[in-house]
Structure 1
């Protein structure tokens, strides 16, 4: 009787242990697919910079830019709060008249717009040499695997931004344009201005 009771107890314990086990799915390589930790920090270790730029464009760039953009005047005021030796990037909505189109370097074209009475050079690509979009969007280094991935995100975001722009040529000169921009400010001045959206016409 005693042996039978012990055997029954063992079977009961094994049944409980099996019931407590979670069945884990396997991926194509036969490795277990672990569920995401709900308390884990957001990260992009499993995505390429291009995938991050494309999947996050609407939520991290376009929508914040459209909803939170400063006016050009407010941006200029804010630039005076930037600490010496530092920089800060923000989204800005501005309107102005195009006074020049520079395509002397076919890969790094610029528009010059008169905004609030001042000439402003706006990068329109296809190569944009600026971190303005990445930094204005609030991407942080600790979201990424390493410095290389973080730096590559800048190029991916810039390439994606250029795809959103209309075809710009010399015919834009002399015409009013409404622009959504990513701007990098230094203390009391503007360093980089990158186009996110451009549309001919007055507001």
Structure 2
């Protein structure tokens, strides 16, 4: 009786096994887990920025951007000492162009009657783009890769911008921004798209 039970048990175990194909080196080819989340562990930060720009930055920014007024309202829901980042569409008049530090240039735009400093690089500070795009630390190998992604996304953003100089001052402009905000404050506004003219 025990032998019959053992045979039945072994038969069931074998039936549950999946035959796995082998590659040219005789190693098993494991099928992809259909529930696996996309990961970036084997990519450089630059590769991640380039491959995910359209799907995680550009398209969400264009479709889900808040108005400047809605962003200001939302900033008042941020807890004191906390921060949040969102995509924002804004228009206004350029009142200043600052290239005193050639690596960290900026425009000042009057948006809804208030002066707003818009960072245009080539070096951009802060995590506004990464955080507005919803990248999470768990998607990455370690803190270093996660931090390096910020720099890669910021570099990629600068490459999308037109040439901006003092000739923009006094003219209307439209901007698509990644904005990092605190409790009722705007900490960083980083340009993703800029163009002259009214909406």
Q: Tell me the TM-score normalised to structure 2 length.
A: 0.88
* Count of aligned positions: 186
- Who is 1:87 aligned against? 83
Task: Give the alignment partner of residue 67 of structure 1, picking from 63, 66, 74.
Answer: 63
Gaps of 5+ in 1: 1-12
Residues 110 and 23 (structure 1), Cα distance of their counterparts in 2 relative to 1, 3 Å cut: same
**Does residue 143 of the first structure (1) align with residue 139 of the second (2)?**
yes
1:1-31 deviation digits (Å, cap 9, x = unpaired): xxxxxxxxxxxx9xx99xx63223258xx86
Task: Give the alignment partner of residue 46 of structure 2, picking from 42, 50, 54.
Answer: 50
SS in 1 for 2:92: strand
Q: Which runs of 4+ in 1 moved over 6 A?
A: none
**Aligned-pair RMSD on alpha carbons?**
2.0
- Who is 1:7 aligned against? none
Q: Tell me the TM-score normalised to structure 1 length.
A: 0.86
Task: Give the alignment partner of residue 153 of structure 2, picking from 157, 168, 180.
Answer: 157
- How far residue 35 of structure 1 moved from its aligned partner, in angstroms, is 3.1
**Does residue 181 of the first structure (1) align with residue 180 of the second (2)?**
no
Gaps of 5+ in 2: 1-10
Residues 174 and 47 (structure 1), Cα distance of their counterparts in 2 relative to 1, 3 Å cut: same
